[in-house]
Amino acid sequence: MTGGRLQDRAVLVAGATGMAAAAAHGFAAEGARVLVASRTAEHARELAGAIEAEGGRCHWLAADLSREADADTVVEACVSAYGRVDGAYTVAGISGRRYGDGPLHEMTLEGWQAVMNGNATSTFLVCRSVVRQMLRQEPGDDGLRGAIVTMSSTLAFHPSPGHFATHAYAASKGAIIAFSRALASYYAPDGIRVNVIAPALVATPMSRRAQGDPAILAYLREKQPLAGGPIDPADTVGTAAFLLSREARMVTGQVVEVDAGWGVSEPGRAPANGERY
């Protein structure tokens, strides 16, 4: 694999399935030197092996990114392998339904804490380790020290009470947006960019329950009309690659909703027939 908008950039991907796996493949195809980190060693090892079999460059590490030491170790591993960290994509996260997430009046404290730890705290720890490294390194060939893309959700903007009443999850994804924009503002003078992707429902292992529910699938056909159902993980890669690339060197503090039309669609509306009222 040669050439591409991420050519020779050292990119850390937090996660090894779903959107993270699609991104790691896509980034490597764009010329990036990738390091993937996942709590499940088998997932990370298989992903790295598949990328290398395609001619890409990829290291892997098993790590629980909600732990301080593990987040630091992952960044150290990227620097050890590639000499620096040019980009980080913090995809890893959880759905907390099995821990007790749900509507507020039914939610448990354990559910709230598990979701905030798995989503917001892990993002904080990875970003902290990455930013500390970026502040130490010299600017790259784009004149900047690095770029970070974090993972939010359309549910932080556009609730769906009938099908996705997981209030801790929405709160954790909203926290990631506020956190990321604060970072973008503070570290812009240091040449560090921070942006956010907020997807709607993507066909990943985390969304299996929703993908198996006929009522939700019918809802998504209208709520996500550009996809006609769940979004393919591959359709999120281009946005992330752009935000991490030299092409986006003037872009920071932005939230990009990759939602297949979720935020602007109205389920139950009659199909357009060319007439306007």
Write out the DSSP string of the chain: ---STTTT-EEEEE-SSHHHHHHHHHHHHTT-EEEEEESSHHHHHHHHHHHHHTT-EEEEEE--TTSHHHHHHHHHHHHHHHSS--EEEE------GGGT-SSTTT--HHHHHHHIIIIIIHHHHHHHHHHHHHHHSPP-TTSSSEEEEEE--GGGTS-BTTTB--HHHHHHHHHHHHHHHHHHHHHGGGTEEEEEE----B-SGGGHHHHT-HHHHHHHHHHSTTTTSSBPGGGGHHHHHHHHSGGGTT--S-EE---TTGGG--TTPPPP-S---
Residues annotated as catalytic are 169
